[in-house]
Structure 1
Amino acid sequence: MPTAIPDPIVDLGDARDIARDLLVVPNRNVDLVPNIGLIGGTDAVLVVETGLGPDNAERVLAFATEYARGRRLYLTTTHFHPEHAFGAQSFAGRATYVVNRAQAADLAGKGRGYLEMFRGLGETVARRLDGVELVAPDVVYDDTYDLDLGGRVVRLRPTGRGHSLGDQVVTVPDAGVLFTGDLVETGQFAIFPWFPPHDTDVSGLRWIEVMRRLSAGHPDVVVPGHGDLDGPRLLDEVREYLELLRDETWRRRDSAMSEDTIVAEVRALAIERHPEWTGRDWIERGVRCLCAEHA
């Protein structure tokens, strides 16, 4: 992962409406800043993602409280990784925190290790993580959770293993909006948190199947974990890249090529195909993950 990271501050001044009573705070393409959502109904407002650490989360909470104007607050996170969920403590007692069971298990089992790993990314990141406490969700569900905000139902749905074991997507059916977390990024190579032996839960193969299912839902607006909002073509673009990574990796693996050589050749091919994309370091982790997977 990159070590020279600008201060990952959530800039609430960029918040913009994308549908009725639905705001997105864009990440401005700053590393370790997620896209954050506020989804309102007549009775309640759901916040999607916290930002990295309690300082960011306190400002997101203050913004959401002002936006809600007395409506009840809920919080959800698309997965347990630090910039998405490691500010949940700021919402304790102020919002009801709802996540899927696999994500809750990820947080409990791997959260402390990820906190230490991210602290090693540099002083600015470590400072944002000062005082982080990993808090348990208030509500944990298994299959699908329909959250009634009053005149608007938001659907929370686990996808199964992909970017992580506990990935969750958030759908706003009446607005045609889909929040994907890090299953999808715009203009960036897919993030593979392949960190053997500590974390090898990412699955390129299952990720492809997740993307097919999400495309079948035909959303009008896709809010990725990081990067610009886009339409449904973004889902196909990510799936096609993952399929390219799988096919080119497996073709070389089956010819008994060394893993280092596979990495070098597939990395060059991926960059040639997408020279404008950022996050090139993730290509290697994706290739090594797929070298270990089998159909």
Structure 2
Amino acid sequence: MNEIADPVVRVEQVRELAGDLVVIPDRRVPLVPNIGLVGGAEAVLVVDTGMGTENAETVLRFATEFARGRRLYVTSTHFHPEHAFGAHVFAGAATYLVNRAQAADLTHKGPGYLHMFTGLGEAVARRLAGVRLPAPDVVYDREHDLDLGGRVVRLRATGRAHSNGDQVVTVPDAGVMFTGDLVEAGQFAIFPWFPPHDTDVSGTRWLAVMARLAGQRPSVVVPGHGDIGDAGLLTDVHDYLAALRDETWRRRDSAMPEDTIVAEVRAAMLARHPDWEGREWIEHGVRCLCAEHA
């Protein structure tokens, strides 16, 4: 396995998307997410924390300066380590809120993911050293509207897709949508299909979620990883998932061996998207969809 680069969050290239709304970009560094800060007259919401204590401390310092005395909230788009395994740093400084399914993921699957990610390499292990799995302060069921003072941010649980507890964060007055890993830009969709340990990802449900999100027509889409774009990112992911399903199921219908399906569909997807990163996730997606084949 190639050594993964140090997944460090840097705040030097912060991008302003609208008034009082900025993104700390991932800089195309693996295991660094796009991190959002959304401000209102009375409070600021941080969307995702970065991986580990030191990264989250960097984000908290920046958020504190950005807030200038306003109250802080923090949320995570889903429970995976680079998105949520820094929320413990915000304890006492911010209110941490997530949907109920994500809270359950943190409790029941967080320890396993902490162990798995620690094994990804020395740099990642250093980032995760001493991490305490966060306990949310506020848990909602499916919908939560957070009033920051003159600006309402909508937190919506999507239901099972990339994970059980995926959450989309939208800022209606700015037309901005934070998707977490439901959307990646210039990268094949990340399927955390790791049987028997984790099989919660659902390609079919993910596809339905993307259709709903595309129907909202946001002006700006902030993906979990990759460059910020427009609603075309939602369409790109939808169309990729549809093609992945169709190519997989067509071969599954003919009782083709799964390994052969993987090889053929992988070749087809690479031909469609030769410049996309994350090629290793194609196989996981195909095997997930084989399991979902009716």
Question: When the two structures are superposed, what TM-score results if normalisation uses the length of structure 1?
Answer: 0.99
Q: 2:60 is matched with which residue?
A: 61
The letter of the residue matching 1:111 is G
Match of 1:117 in 2: 116
Can you give the 5+ residue segments of structure 1 that lack an aligned partner in the other structure?
none
Aligned length: 294
Corresponding residue number in structure 2 for 1:180? 179
Shift of 1:143: 1.9
Contact 1:3-1:121 within 8 A present in 2 as well: no
Distance 1:31 1:131 in 2: 21
Q: Structure 2: 5+ residue runs without aligned partners?
A: none
Q: Structure 2 counterpart of 1:227, which letter? A: G
- 1:95 counterpart = 2:94: yes
Q: 1:260 maps to which residue? A: 259
The residue type paired with residue 221 of structure 2 is: V
Please give the alpha-carbon distance, in whole angstroms, between the structure 1 residues aligned to 2:103 and 2:156.
14
- Does the 8 Å CA contact 2:43/2:67 hold for their aligned counterparts? yes
Output the aligned Cα RMSD. Answer: 0.7
Normalised by the length of structure 2, the TM-score is: 0.99
Amino acid aligned to 1:191: I
In structure 1, C-alpha distance between the alignment counterparts of 2:269 and 2:3, rounded to whole Å: 23
Q: Secondary structure of the equivalent of 2:292?
A: coil
CA distance in 1, matches of 2:141, 2:188: 30
Q: Does 1:221 align with 2:217?
A: no
> Which amino acid is the alignment partner of residue 4 of structure 1?
E
Q: Is contact 2:168-2:179 (8 Å) kept?
A: yes
Residues 102-157 of structure 1: CA deviation (Å, up to 9, x unaligned): 00001101000000000000000000001000121000000210000000000000
Q: Is the 8 A contact 2:252 2:293 kept in 1?
A: no
Letter paired with 1:157: R
Aligned to 2:80: 81
Q: Quick check: 1:250 aligned with 2:249? A: yes
* d(CA) in 2 for partners of 1:140, 1:101: 6
Distance 1:14 1:117 in 2: 30
- Structure-2 residue corresponding to 1:10: 9
Asked whether the 8 Å contact 1:170–1:178 carries over to 2, the reply is yes
Q: Is the CA contact (8 Å cut-off) linking 1:163 and 1:183 kept in structure 2?
A: yes
Distance of 1:47 and 1:214 partners within structure 2 = 21
Measured in 1, the distance between the counterparts of 2:233 and 2:119 equals 32
Shift of 1:33: 0.1
Query: d(CA) in 2 for partners of 1:272 and 1:213?
Result: 27
- Name the residue aligned to 1:143: 142
The one-letter code sitting in structure 1 at the alignment partner of 2:279 is R
Q: Give the corresponding residue for 2:132.
A: 133
Take 2:203 and 2:146, find their aligned partners in 1: how far apart are those partners?
30
What are the superposed Cα offsets for residues 142-191 of structure 1, whole Å, 9 maximum, x if unpaired? 02100000000000000011000000000000000000000000000000
Question: By how many angstroms is 1:3 displaced?
Answer: 4.5
Query: The residue matched to 1:14 in structure 2 has which SS?
Result: coil
User: 1: distance between equivalents of 2:229 and 2:5?
Assistant: 25
> 2: distance between equivalents of 1:294 and 1:262?
13
One-letter code aligned to 1:171: T
> Who is 2:167 aligned against?
168
Matched, 1:71 2:70: yes
% identical equivalent positions: 73
| Counterpart AA for 1:155 | R
Task: Letter of the 1:56 partner, please give it.
Answer: N
Q: Distance in 2 between the 1:3 and 1:46 partners? A: 36
Q: Distance in 2 between matches of 1:115 and 1:88?
A: 14
The answer to whether the 8 A contact 2:15-2:23 is kept is yes
